[in-house]
Structure 1
Amino acid sequence: MRMSRFGLATVALAATACLSAPAFADGLYGGPVRDAPVVMSSPGHCYIRGDVGYSWSRDPDVKWTVTDPDPASPTFGQFVTDSVTNVNIGNAWLVEGGVGCGSGTRGLRGEIMLGYHGKRSIEGTPGPWTVPPAVDPLHTSVRTTTLMFNGYYDLGSYRGF
């Protein structure tokens, strides 16, 4: 019986020692958690970009240069007028797409963009000396396609901005 009490006391002492000893997480995997390496993934160097928009246009200042077509006139062949009044240019949708690449940590990047600006109508009333009769207003339309090469340099950030 004496042996069983001694055995029971030993087990109780061992259990108390195990439960009262501090346990740290760094002991589980071989090193402290605060020294674990930070895994950072960098974004790729190239990207695809797309833009969709709508353009509002201010009415332009249109000039239509006309010379005097009458051979009997003393101002024959000379500048007569270039006025166009009541000019109106329409608004249009635009779509652009492009590809760009950067140099990673150097802060340099460039891109190429191809854009299409939808059909815009242009209307106006030419001056009285124009080849078309003055009662026939100026009316046409324009569609534009653009190709742009852009270059950028990242100047850095200020406290994360």
Structure 2
Amino acid sequence: MLSSRVFIWQQFSRLTPAEVLEVIPLFHPLWEGVDPADLVFADERAAHGNFRAWAKGFYLYQCAANGVNDELRAALATRRLPTQADRDRALLGHVQTSLPANPLAPKRGTRNGRHPKMLPDGARAGLLDAVNTARDVMVVTWLSDTSMRIGALTGLHLVDLHLRDNAACGDCIPR
């Protein structure tokens, strides 16, 4: 695997009531003077330990209280009908009538989920001009000159490479 590529699955757990009391007042000065019992109550009723829900609630409050960005407030307040998958996921999914909608989520059907198979014309020259190291030049060259995919390239070991003609390994095909 290329050393510059690191893929790690991030898993975030919900905030505990003690963490809510510690983190939320640091999030914004608005929450500094609030009674801890009120913070815990608000978390139990609305945010459920989800920091994103706290942030969304804060920005909805800011938009409503100060009249800032009415379009954003309206977009964040929209709801959608639950799908069957939503109903199956939820504990009481059979009683759900609506769910919050994410206005920033990509629209369904706008992309078929696949990346283009080939680079557009002129992209290889632009990539070669942009790379800085010999390793990156090699990667761009091998991916564009061969039918190799990125997974095959990152899975190569030094013993897989035949860099000399007529090497002693016996696997080289004479030209």
Shared fold per TM-score greater than 0.5: no
Give the alignment's TM-score, normalised by structure 1. Answer: 0.18
Give the alignment's TM-score, normalised by structure 2. Answer: 0.17
Q: Per residue, is there more strand in 1 or in 2?
A: 1
Q: Which has the higher contact order (CA 8 A, sep 6+)?
A: 1
Q: Per residue, is there more helix in 1 or in 2?
A: 2
